[in-house]
Amino acid sequence: MHIQIAAVGKLKEKYLVLGIAEYAKRLGPYVKLTLTEVADERAPETMSAAEEAQVREREGERLLAQIKPDAHVVALALDGELWSSEDLAGQLDSLATYGRSHVAFVIGGSTGLAPAVLRRAQQRLSFGRMTLPHQLMRLVLLEQVYRAVKINRGEPYHK
């Protein structure tokens, strides 16, 4: 299976870079992993709704350009479905079983995802109603993908 995580912005914090590298290494024997970063838009701290929409659109265009047409897209969005780790494992297993072996998880920037990205997504996933920094979300998502792989393989994983 090919798992892609496409995200807006460059990772800056060393602890996140190290954590992501650790889970990428753990996933190496099981999946082909691609971590795709697209540039975030320079934007003032306070923006009008129209300016936020423009930022989302530009970032969304960059994200969509990095996603292959045959990818099954899962957008991380506050209004998405809440899945347990077992649900995620089941989703990945089902996709692999039915020939959808390229799954792209998409994480927006600080203003969220563009409507075009949300339309491209076959599914929306939420990790809850709390807002998390999009950079931290990458690490959380990678850990959950690793956990899902271990669940599907019937292998132990720390609790």
Which segments are annotated as binding site for S-adenosyl-L-methionine?
76, 108, 127-132
Residue 141 burial by Cβ neighbours in a 10 Å radius (0-12, 13-18, 19+): buried
Residues making up the binding site: 76, 108, 127-132
Residue 25 CA to its chain's centroid (Å): 17
Task: Identify the bridge partners of residue 102 per DSSP, sorted by sequence position.
Answer: 2
Q: In what helix (H) or strand (E) does residue 35 lie, and over which residues does it extend?
A: strand 32-38
Q: How far apart are CA 26 and CA 139, in angstroms?
A: 13
Complete DSSP assignment for 59-128: HHHHHHHTS-TTPEEEEEEEEEEE--HHHHHHHHHHHHHTT--EEEEEE-BTTB--HHHHHH-SEEEES-
User: What single DSSP character describes residue 40?
Assistant: P
Written as six digits, the tokens of 39 are 């540039």
